Structure 1
Amino acid sequence: MKILLMGVQKLAYMPYMNFYLSQLDLINNDVHLLYWNRDNKQEQLPDYNITYHEFKCYQEDEVPKIRKIKSFLKYRKRAKQLISDEKFDFIIILNTVSGFLIQDVLWNSYSKKFIYDYRDPTLENILLYKILIGKIVKMSLVTFVSSDGFRKFLPNEKNIYTSHNLLLDSLRYRNIRKFYERNVTPIRVRYWGMIRDESINKMIIDRLGNDSRFELHYHGRMQKTGRNLQDYCNSNGIKNVNFHGVYLPDERYDFAKETDILHNIYEKDKLLSKAMGNKFYDGIVHYIPQICNKGSFMGQKVTSEKVGAQLDPKDPAFADMLYHYYININWKQFNQSCDACLDHVVNEYHAGNEVIDTILNKTELTEIKEIHST
């Protein structure tokens, strides 16, 4: 079978593609991947036996959506041309917008011949957009959601399954933090990933800045938000906040060893507060307590699973609450909670793998059944 995976990000920012690639029979299937190189810097191609197609078009992430329309239309043109030229049997849509951009192709030529990976509800407050996304879900063979909190935005269909942004490779580094000294001073709070949400991070910097109990570290591309936060620290004489810049995916294992608390706080948003971030999984895999925004879906999850705390950076007592949370952790119980939570995630992950295996490792597309009906 000839299969296309397509997403609108750089490869480094689509780790969830491994959920599919790790299950595909790359010998008996002809697998292609279309990705978007947004910063015009050379990509490190993963070691898969597949054909890579690069869409190279510079696009800043932190600009209003209206300023991205031209670039997205160029991506749509490239994707449609690739599909037309290669005549794929099956398509895996790696994020919400990718499917929206080629919805006409999916409806006309790929009904029940594509998987939809839904992980971005930023425009579901627009009724027409929500309706069109619902139609894509109904026409997919299977839709995966990266957070159960996203199900409320979608039609109630039997073909919707939960996936997890779990990198199986990270399990090889399971204990990199577990047996290191926990009672360190200062407590090292660390963020990794795309640096965004300037307002709430300024709040966190204000709460922890020059507090001798803490160090705050940021790892990620220094676009507008990162630069603004760094300038804010410099102009206010804040000495205990550090910006380390871009990193390769495997490098996070090195700084995870020196992380006491994982900063997993994002702005409260009616839509995105339902998301499950990649760092949630990093926390439970590497036994690192994490802090999430109070009232968010992820915040409720870390509290119920006893693997972190949900705190509000607007609270003047934020630093004291964070400090008291950390020093009062029962590490034996915390480690057990991480194990139990990870076991549940891994079980769901493998259940999703079985769905993928049933669909994608068939020799003929006509053999595929709608497995959600069984």
Structure 2
Amino acid sequence: MDSTIKYKPFNGRAIALHYKMDNYQPKHKKIIGFIKCIAFSRQAIKKGKYDKIIFLTTQSILPLYGIAKKYSGRYIYDYRDLTYEKNNLAKKLVQKLIDNSYMTCMSSMGFKQIIGNNDKIIVSHNCSNIQHNSIIKTESDKIRLVFWGMVRQIEFNKKICDCFGRDNRFVICYHGEGGSAELKKYCENQDYKNISFTGRYSVNEISSFAASTDILINLYENDGQQKLAMTVKYYDAVRYGLPMLVTQGSYMADAVVGNNAALAVNINNLNLDDIFEWYQSINKSEYHYPEELARIQNDDKSFEEKVLAFARN
């Protein structure tokens, strides 16, 4: 946030629905909680008679389409991920919601390939107050490939482990939950001794992970959800100046074209000698993402100005 901006801390009354639900339970079991949340939100908005609204995610605004329509030009639509856009009706509703918004924040401009161009769309990156954080790297005689985040796309990650699992030039470490237990079991069965798992972590541990990272694993399968997305790890690479692997054909690969510190690869046709030589060719003493950092900071400044304009008008 711009340090010249004056603001007051929120001193209003928070309104919350108290409903306990396991984050990992099947989607069909979450329906009751979802219905309760939408009904609660609808009632709270009608009762509050608010001047303006910020809708967080498509999952919240679509069921409240009728209310959003009444707030035309007086709401911000925070569009984080692709959701139901394969359905033509849902896609048309999303496009209409963007049309009627004051502005729509997108976490990746790659989503416009599905949604289409619209002057209401502005990028809102998956990070805040990003700066280059210089870190003191620990030393290792191996090339350390590190992943942190929710471990998903298990079959895809098995392919990653199969590629590196028996090459003693590399070691891999996975930090995070999700499908890590299944992936760990697979690696044990394959007798991959250079792959380790640490489980759950807190956000303040990421800087220590970065200090022990030579190459950040920012690889995801190009499925309908992921191909056009910008991951939080992309911004971690920019923040800490980490070399990273991204998937060929993804929007992130397009974002790092021309940067030697980011390598786009096809996990189905991976040559580890090429990975080794690429890493050795990188100048370890320089910061690798000055252009990306400047672009993100400029985008953030524009985003803040538009949000403030929304609040003031």
Q: What TM-score, normalized to structure 2?
A: 0.90
Match of 2:31 in 1: 69
> Does residue 25 in structure 1 map to residue 7 in structure 2?
yes
Checking the alignment, whether the CA contact within 8 Å between 2:17 and 2:40 is kept in structure 1 is no
Structure-2 change in CA distance of 1:294 and 1:62 (3 Å): farther
Match of 2:276 in 1: 323
After TM superposition, the structure 1 = structure 2 runs for residues 178-327 of structure 1, keeping only pairs within 5 Å, are: 180=137, 184-221=140-177, 223=178, 225-317=179-271, 319-327=272-280
Structure-2 change in CA distance of 1:156 and 1:220 (3 Å): same
Match of 1:348 among 294, 299, 304: 299
Match of 1:48 in 2: none
Amino acid corresponding to residue 312 of structure 1 in structure 2? N
Supply the distance in 1 between the matched residues of 2:126 and 2:6 (Cα, whole angstroms): 17
Match of 1:98 in 2: 60
> Does residue 57 in structure 1 map to residue 16 in structure 2?
no
Checking the alignment, whether the CA contact within 8 Å between 1:59 and 1:71 is kept in structure 2 is no
Amino acid corresponding to residue 257 of structure 1 in structure 2? A
**Identity of counterpart residues, as a percentage?**
30
Match of 1:159 in 2: 120
Amino acid corresponding to residue 71 of structure 1 in structure 2? G
For structure 1, which segment, 125-134 or 113-122, has the greater mean C-alpha deviation from structure 2 after superposition?
113-122
Match of 1:175 in 2: 134
Supply the distance in 2 between the matched residues of 1:66 and 1:347 (Cα, whole angstroms): 41
Supply the distance in 1 between the matched residues of 2:6 and 2:227 (Cα, whole angstroms): 32
Match of 1:82 among 27, 32, 44: 44
- Residues 286-338 of structure 1, C-alpha deviation per residue, up to 9 Å, x if partnerless? 01011111111102222334441111111152x33322221111335x62x41
- Residues 128-161 of structure 1, C-alpha deviation per residue, up to 9 Å, x if partnerless? 1101111111111110111111112224322111
Checking the alignment, whether the CA contact within 8 Å between 1:266 and 1:292 is kept in structure 2 is yes
Which consecutive residues of structure 2, in runs of 5 or more, have no partner in the other structure?
Answer: none
Match of 2:88 in 1: 127
Supply the distance in 2 between the matched residues of 1:53 and 1:290 (Cα, whole angstroms): 40
Structure-2 change in CA distance of 1:126 and 1:24 (3 Å): farther
Checking the alignment, whether the CA contact within 8 Å between 1:284 and 1:307 is kept in structure 2 is no
Aligned residues: 312
Checking the alignment, whether the CA contact within 8 Å between 1:94 and 1:117 is kept in structure 2 is yes
Matched position secondary structure for 1:299: helix
1:174 to partner: Cα distance: 0.6
- Residues 65-112 of structure 1, C-alpha deviation per residue, up to 9 Å, x if partnerless? 55543432232123223323433332222222222232222113x221
Structure-2 change in CA distance of 1:23 and 1:309 (3 Å): farther
Amino acid corresponding to residue 91 of structure 1 in structure 2? I
Structure-2 change in CA distance of 1:309 and 1:56 (3 Å): farther
Amino acid corresponding to residue 108 of structure 2 in structure 1? S
- Residues 231-267 of structure 1, C-alpha deviation per residue, up to 9 Å, x if partnerless? 1112222222121111221111121111111111111
Matched position secondary structure for 1:254: helix
1:127 to partner: Cα distance: 0.6
1:278 to partner: Cα distance: 0.9
Supply the distance in 2 between the matched residues of 1:55 and 1:314 (Cα, whole angstroms): 45
1:272 to partner: Cα distance: 2.7
Match of 1:138 in 2: 99
Structure-2 change in CA distance of 1:190 and 1:118 (3 Å): same
Supply the distance in 2 between the matched residues of 1:241 and 1:77 (Cα, whole angstroms): 46
Amino acid corresponding to residue 152 of structure 1 in structure 2? Q
Amino acid corresponding to residue 58 of structure 2 in structure 1? T
For structure 1, which segment, 70-79 or 135-144, has the greater mean C-alpha deviation from structure 2 after superposition?
70-79
Match of 1:372 in 2: none
- Residues 175-203 of structure 1, C-alpha deviation per residue, up to 9 Å, x if partnerless? 015xx367x32111111111111111000
Supply the distance in 1 between the matched residues of 2:269 and 2:80 (Cα, whole angstroms): 30
Supply the distance in 1 between the matched residues of 2:16 and 2:159 (Cα, whole angstroms): 41
Supply the distance in 2 between the matched residues of 1:130 and 1:59 (Cα, whole angstroms): 29
Structure-2 change in CA distance of 1:55 and 1:279 (3 Å): farther
Matched position secondary structure for 1:134: helix
Structure-2 change in CA distance of 1:86 and 1:26 (3 Å): farther
Checking the alignment, whether the CA contact within 8 Å between 2:215 and 2:245 is kept in structure 1 is yes
1:62 to partner: Cα distance: 7.4
Which consecutive residues of structure 1, in runs of 5 or more, have no partner in the other structure?
Answer: 1-18, 33-50, 363-367, 369-374
